[in-house]
Amino acid sequence: MIEPVHPDELRVSDPERAAVQEKLRRAVAAGQLDLHEFDTRVQSVWAARTRGELSRVTRDLPEPPPEPPSPPPLDRRFSDDDAGTAMRVLTIIWASVTAVNLAVWTLVSVTTGQFVYPWWIWLSVPGAALLVLYVVGIGRPRR
């Protein structure tokens, strides 16, 4: 007749070892173990072959307190006010850069006495992009 295997003599699997390692990690977080002892015990956990060996690793540890719940994820979407503010800031920056470039171009053209290549025209590209965003509805108040 075959004798039943005692529960402490049953072989353990990697998920069971990982669960014990997680319990040890929580014990370190709760201040029940220092890092050196944690390392030693984790080595014992992964070397364990039976449930009895696993239970001896955590026998002296009380159940660590549960982890505090994680804060809910921020689900903040940009409001119309945020988009409008961003569009106003971008438009002010674009207009300021364009005005400075136009003033410098005018001064260079007047002081040299000849028509200089109007490089400031290239600033119409980001201006056009801002205009397209505004026309599409980004940064415009909803009615």
Six token digits for residue 82: 């945020």
Closest C-alpha among 89, 139, 100 to residue 123? 100
Per DSSP, the residues of 18-35 read HHHHHHHHHHHHTTSS-H
Burial of 107 (0-12, 13-18, 19+ CB in 10 A): exposed
**pLDDT, tens digit, 9 for 90 and up, residues 67-101:** 678 887 766 665 656 777 888 899 999 999 999 99
Q: What angle in degrees, to the nearest 10, is found between the helix axes of 80-112 and 124-136?
A: 160
For residues 16 and 46, the answer to whether their CB atoms sit within 8 Å is no
**What's residue 7's pLDDT?**
80
**What's residue 75's pLDDT?**
61
- Averaged in consecutive runs of 10 residues, what is the pLDDT profile of the chain (143 residues)? 82 93 90 92 94 90 76 66 80 94 93 90 90 81 61
- Alpha carbon distance 110, 113 (integer Å): 5
Closest C-alpha among 105, 128, 125 to residue 116? 105
